[in-house]
Structure 1
Amino acid sequence: MSGIVAVHCGAGTHSSSHYVQYNKLSKKACRKGIEVLQSGGTALEAVKVVIAVLENDPLTNCGYGSNLTNEGTVETDASIMDGKTLLYGGCGALKNVKNPIELAYDICVKQVEPLPFGLIPPSFLVGRGALQFARSSGLKIVSQKALVSAKALKQYRKYQKLLDSRNNELLDTVGAVCVDNSGHVAAGCSSGGILLKRPGRVGQAAVYASGAWADSFSPETENSVAVCTSGCGEHLMRTQLAKEIAEDVKSSACPTIGLSQSITDKFLNSRFLKNVSTKLCGALVLHIDNKTGDSAVLWAHTTESMSIGFMKCGDENPKALISELPTGVSVGTKVNVSGIYNYRKKSE
């Protein structure tokens, strides 16, 4: 199996003046992930590194540069899932941790470490407890000021008097999916949440089955799949969209059709969103066929646009693009699906 990394920088509305910047960042993240895989790292390790790259760039809404709460502070969410073990780690409403995805990763991998007296290791931590866990793990702790970018501060000042407003461009949640050279997958996501959110609000990026899902538990007998989502967190949590997509795509004869039907049936037509008129989501999917070894990187969104990047071990350069809804299609009412297939050579 040849490793693959795919990333997204959010589903929302991306200004055309920033397309080059988004594509450049996606490619940078993909290259870092491929470096991990080529050095023998796991899919889980690659996802952590890839998302950390995105968290460190103020262009995205995660880590440094996250949207500010209505109190002018940064609170972040992140999660990661290992398809090999089916373990998940998540953190929410997190302050002062430079890279939330590193904390989610730490929570995930430490679940296999035994605790005294039969105590159960946590899989999801929020607020002060999450920060304490990060400190005990030796992760980089920074001041609130160090997480606030000039762009985020400018947006906060502009919208602080409009608490009920919603801007699609500010929904962006980043994510990554990966398959390593052993054929196992992982998925993760990270977000600063919606602009002017209430302190303590946790979005789908941290929540089990909503922001990320990965399953390569039985790669010899079942297809493997990894999914990460973006969009309106409340809607994604109500529908547990990451898990729903993964299960539908995994069992579908055609991953592309499976993805389209899943978002249509489980999101756009979901009974859990019956009172929602504009339904905003995006999904990045990696599918591995257990019989042929063929892989597919797919993306879908009901938002105006979605920023995508991907790279395979052995590729000279990563590819990046901004996917857009077709002209005339109303945002939040239809899904746009696309992707790329990699057919395994018999000699591999």
Structure 2
Amino acid sequence: MALSDVKVRSAKPEVKACKLTDGDGMVLLAHPNGSKYWRLRYRFGGKEKMLALGKYPEVSLADARARRDEARKLLANGVDPSENKKAFKVEQEQEAITFEMVARDWQASNQKWSASHSARVLKSLEDNLFAAIGKRNIAELKTRDLLVPIKAVESSGRLEVAARLQQRTTAIMRFAVQSGLIDYNPAQEIAGAVATAKRQHRAALELSRIPELLHRIDHYSGRPLTRLALELTLLVFIRSSELCFARWSEVDFETAMWTIPGEREPSEGVKHSQRGSKMRTPHLVPLSRQALGILEKIKSMSGNRELIFVGDHDPRKPMSENTVNKALRVMGYDTKVEVCGHGFRTMACS
């Protein structure tokens, strides 16, 4: 006998769940706690199966019957309604997966990144990509869609930023392929579409002028710690941030090794003091006898401090990254044309 709205509404067993039959395999499963669920019993492929049609009262009697009738139409066409429901759910989930969701998952998956670098990467995506394609379905994005925000950055003259966005977009879409969200990476076709910035080489002296540089350093009349910083840089050829934010705890005099960490403990009130090696992995710098000798001299000046190269006015803060360049200018060098602190590394490659 078919159910009525009154019978459905009043159904509430006292001891155990009961089934109220409506017809064509549809039943109402009523529980003592008041919960009621619509179910459809059917056979497919020689097996008896059960399809959930929804919960009462969210799904009314009329709605449940309509869902039953749709399921029976599928059965008549040789389609299992349970499998059809699963496929529809997967399709809906895929439609809900956006580029921004995948990009954030990709960013979070890069465990080797430092916290500061990870934050910079996310900020770049938020500023340059998410507004244009962040809400787009990851499976629907084509090469031309991915290029739109990158080309906009390129048109503004920020070529290096555009190049990094191209690399990150390719990595995000590759992550989507690896996660089973898409079958093909459309960002592969971006290669070569973005202009590359002309690399500017840092000012560096010709090798024939190095004796002149050494002579000027020897006769530098400024702060002794600055002179020693210049001498040490010429022996180890590290980056300015690696030098200025260096800690005594990184230097092992017994093994003659300086281990620059991927990221340092930040100093309170000092911008970028968390910077370590550029590759964000430990950078091992072997120390020559001469380099150890210079560090021993510096130790007599700042050995009781955490930082090796302490600031001139506040020993709790590091020497400015521009200190070496200022000293070179005092010595008479044009740091834009002749030589700069970073140019020491270029000289090392000669």
Query: Structure 2 length normalisation: TM-score?
Result: 0.21
Name the one with the larger strand percent: 1
Name the one with the larger helix percent: 2
Query: Structure 1 length normalisation: TM-score?
Result: 0.22
Q: Which has the larger radius of gyration?
A: 2
